[in-house]
Amino acid sequence: MAPGTRDLQLTAARAASTEDDAGAGEEVRLLEEYLEEEVINSSKIPANLRRIQVRVTGMTCAACSNSVEAALSGLDGVAKASVALLQNKADVVFDPSLVKDEDIKNAVEDAGFEAEIIPEPSTSHAKPNGTLTGQFTIGGMTCAACVNSVEGILRTLPGVKRAVVALATSLGEVEYDPTIVSKDDIVNAIEDAGFEASFVQSYEQDKIILGVLGVSSELDVQQLEEILCNLKGVRQFHFDRILKEVEIVFDPEVLGSRSLVDAIEGESSVKLKLVVKNPYTRMASKDLQESSDMLKLFAASFFLSVPVIFMRLVCPHIPILYSLLLRRCGPFQMGDWLKWALVTIVQFVIGKRFYVAAGRALRNGSTNMDVLVALGTSASYFYSVYALLYGAVTGFWSPTYFETSAMLITFVLLGKYLETVAKGKTSDAIKKLVELAPATATLLLKDKEGKIVGERQIDALLIQPGDVLKVLPGAKVPVDGVVAWGSSHVNESMVTGESASVFKEVNSSVIGGTINLHGLLHIRAMKVGSNTVLSQIISLVETAQMSKAPIQKFADYIASVFVPTVVSMAFVTLLCWYFAGVLGAYPEAWLPENGSHFVFALMFAISVVVIACPCALGLATPTAVMVSTGVGASNGVLIKGGDALERAQKIKYVIFDKTGTLTQGKATVTDAKVFTGMDRGQFLTLVASAEANSEHPLGKAILEYARHFHFFDQSSGATKDGKNYSIETKYPGWLLDVSDFSAVPGKGVKCFTDGKQVLVGNRKLLTESGVVIPNHAENFVVELEESAKTGILVAYNNVLIGVIGIADPLKREATVVIEGLKKMGVCPVMVTGDNWRTARAVAKEVGIQDVRAEVMPAGKADVIHSFQKGGSVVAMVGDGINDSPALAAADVGMAIGAGTDIAIEAADFVLMRNNLEDVITAIDLSRKTFSRIRLNYVFAMAYNVVAIPVAAGVFFPWLRITLPPWLAGACMALSSVSVVCSSLLLRRYRTPRLTTILEITIE
């Protein structure tokens, strides 16, 4: 899991008024830490039980995991125990009053394995102090077995807290303690295992990688190092003489990134030019290099193999050429010498990578695709060499199969090349997001008095917080910030997915990567680098693409046992055909010309080895998840991983919060009735003063209504007596001083002013405080509730003084979305803390039959658990702080993008556009993704299921059908390409049309 440990802040795209723009500027913090998929929220188990995870080492097969599971299940007090062999972990649910952590550890050790209790993640989801998360490229991985080997190696390193490796992206993310293990140690560990590795980036805020232009001699290098040594704030640096890049760790409180670059360039006598290296661009260039290298290998193998095939198939029909090949040169014919020479280059020069990879796999006690390729090609090559030498000595010439070895390597390299091309395309979503960020920005230079004295073009990666930047019409906003001067409309669709442009004026927030449409803007930078919305969306997409869906665990397990099984099958095939021939079970006429029973049997065995490669099996899930998460991001749906996708496709119930989810969250006061002799203006001032500290949407609506009543200016905060009054001001001058303010969840607020208590809320708040509600007031509240409005009662000094009616209109798409979910077989449910009358009125309007009203915030999770008891998968859609427990408790949490930080952190999907239609998109995309994954497994296994019997010669006695080894290699390569191409078809996904879902015919 990749840069998921960084915060993602989304800014809601809202239109038009000053207040709306201010609301749009509220930052939403998403994903403090993206936990591993194995971590299960404790809220999903009974309160009297506890869940821990145990790292188990020493397991080598399913029998080992079964032994551990049996030992744990046998403990008194253990409710459930499951063991994951590939992850080397055990998940245990137990009663802490009956069994302790140490008892669990001892049970595993008594079974003959080593055990370590994994510390539970903190509730804040923060990384342990002192750890870093680094990203590494890992070359040479060919299948799921390679991934398991690398992960196992990394997790055994001292200081490594977590390691996740993704085959589809050739990336690994490692969380480690830099005081114990360095990134170089991690790279060396990977390389010692036989793989290629290089460091990409870590999420340190005080590090920068610069490309250095102008270095032509060692003196230039020495000057650069001298400058860095004398530069205050530089902690450490390393110059790579090959790449001509310098990596600098600096103190951000002493030195900024731009100041660092300016200082180096300014003090350099040779006028060094520094270029900031974007880590995503560096990764893209490595992907291109890998694809280019694989193409060169394939081309070389192809051009060397073609003459071998030509000599075998074509030359016998051309007498002149064939006579030249039959001419004896020493102990062998000319044709034999040529074949041997050409295939030797293919086998040991071009095919060296397969021997290296097979060797490292065997050293690590595992087997993979490279083992099968090396075994198959070596068998055909060395037998051919043996046949030549045996013929030279005895005069009995057996057929050779050099072309089998050459064509097999060629087809495997073709498959690997096409995989690199296809895998590169699966990351298009990230590439497009990276391309949104502008390369340069115009910095406005100011004097001490704040006057603009000039402009300067700078690298966008060198922008620092507080910089004022000039954005011309049609240009991209370079960084997250606020408008310091000017007004314009901004197109935010590339980030938020919202097509309508958003009006921006002074103090409005803007998002980096969006496009300024009309007016000139001056932007003050607020968030830079990895803290920007764009960077953090990229981070989340990367995190999701590196995640593993639970279904992949099964595929990984199959892949880990598949290779030894195939080798055994090939050996059995060899023995069966050989001894059958020796015993006379089939006629000699079946043998190739000058061939023996062993040669006949060997060709069947080689075909079995080659055709059964599990490479496609390891690509089936991750490629589909990668494409799906990228497609989701392009359509305004951020997905936190394959685990979320797998659960979402099974959703049976979708539970909606009401306020801000089904409704627009822009509550407005429609009625204000005073029941005492108090002046209406005094009444509204009193209520607004009480609600000034409330974050609830209803409280904000009351405050805005009161301000508008007093000052008759809704857009800018009118002036009165020469003073400015604005809703953005926390305590406007016209509000009363209050004390002892407290918000009572699900009921309202209370405070004191002038020593008298003020209560603003529902019936429960007033009755519990001893306030009597007269009949005429109750009747007025009932009328409001039956018309889908919320009645807010106000009491002053223990006397009911008035009622305020508030309406929160439904989102325009709510009714159609609810009907669409029903058509998809999903049951919608509404849960709200509002009263029953209002809840029923809203539910009736939107079309929801199942309503749970007057539910306290903590009770929403209980409602979810009631639906989960039947085994149904339940989704929760919400946006408020009080929705976060429910989002975490649900099988699938969906947070509205304009919601709060805590709600988004607890969710599995983030609906960036604040549009309920994306709920349907999330479910539909999940279903289509897993439909594609299932199809991928058909592609991955179909070749094996159909071709292995053919390759083993099962049908040869009746149909004379064989599968030559070179053709088996072609089928094996085609299976991987089929899987990747199948996943790439998800890029054509289009969000479902509601008219189609509802089966509406538009004439």
Compute the distance between CA of residue 614 and CA of residue 353 in angstroms, rounded to an integer: 18
Compute the distance between CA of residue 500 and CA of residue 700 in angstroms, rounded to an integer: 25
Q: Which helix (H) or strand (E) holds 201?
A: strand 196-202
Beta strands in 754-798 (DSSP E): 756-761, 790-796
Q: Please check whether residue 925 is in contact with residue 632, taking contact to mean a CB–CB distance below 8 angstroms.
A: yes
Amino acid at site 1003: E
Instruction: Give catalytic status of residue 657 as yes or no.
Output: yes
Q: Which residue has the tokens 């095919």?
A: 351
Q: Please count the residues of the chain.
A: 1003
Amino acid at site 971: C
Q: Which residue has the tokens 């009054």?
A: 725
CA 627 to chain centre: 11
Q: Which residue has the tokens 């006379």?
A: 584
Angstrom CA distances, 892 to 91, 215, 610, 701, 878, stand at: 21, 54, 42, 31, 11
Taking phi first (over 0 means left), then psi (-120 to 50 degrees means alpha), and beta for anything else, what does residue 446 get? Answer: beta
Q: Please check whether residue 710 is in contact with residue 722, taking contact to mean a CB–CB distance below 8 angstroms.
A: no
Compute the distance between CA of residue 233 and CA of residue 266 in angstroms, rounded to an integer: 16
Q: Which helix (H) or strand (E) holds 616?
A: helix 615-634
174 SS3 class: strand
Angstrom CA distances, 936 to 177, 512, 624, 685, 798, stand at: 38, 37, 9, 65, 68
Tokens of 617: 């099996």
Beta strands in 738-845 (DSSP E): 739-744, 748-753, 756-761, 790-796, 799-807, 827-831
State the burial class of residue 208 (Cβ atoms within 10 Å of its Cβ: 0-12, 13-18, 19+). Answer: buried
Q: Which helix (H) or strand (E) holds 84?
A: strand 78-84
Q: Which residue has the tokens 């000139």?
A: 520
CB atoms within 10 A of CB 748: 26
| Helix (H), strand (E), coil (C) string for 874-916 | EEEEECCHHHHHHHHHCCEEEEECCCCHHHHHHCCEEECCCCC
Taking phi first (over 0 means left), then psi (-120 to 50 degrees means alpha), and beta for anything else, what does residue 288 get? Answer: alpha
Compute the distance between CA of residue 483 and CA of residue 684 in angstroms, rounded to an integer: 33
CB atoms within 10 A of CB 255: 18
Compute the distance between CA of residue 802 and CA of residue 761 in angstroms, rounded to an integer: 11
Compute the distance between CA of residue 693 and CA of residue 752 in angstroms, rounded to an integer: 13
Compute the distance between CA of residue 171 and CA of residue 167 in angstroms, rounded to an integer: 7
Compute the distance between CA of residue 962 and CA of residue 439 in angstroms, rounded to an integer: 58
Tokens of 671: 């009625």
Taking phi first (over 0 means left), then psi (-120 to 50 degrees means alpha), and beta for anything else, what does residue 960 get? Answer: left
Q: Please check whether residue 480 is in contact with residue 462, taking contact to mean a CB–CB distance below 8 angstroms.
A: no
State the burial class of residue 317 (Cβ atoms within 10 Å of its Cβ: 0-12, 13-18, 19+). Answer: exposed
270 SS3 class: coil
The one catalytic residue in 7, 91, 657, 924 is 657
Please, which residues bridge with residue 332 across strands? Answer: 329
Residues annotated as catalytic are 657
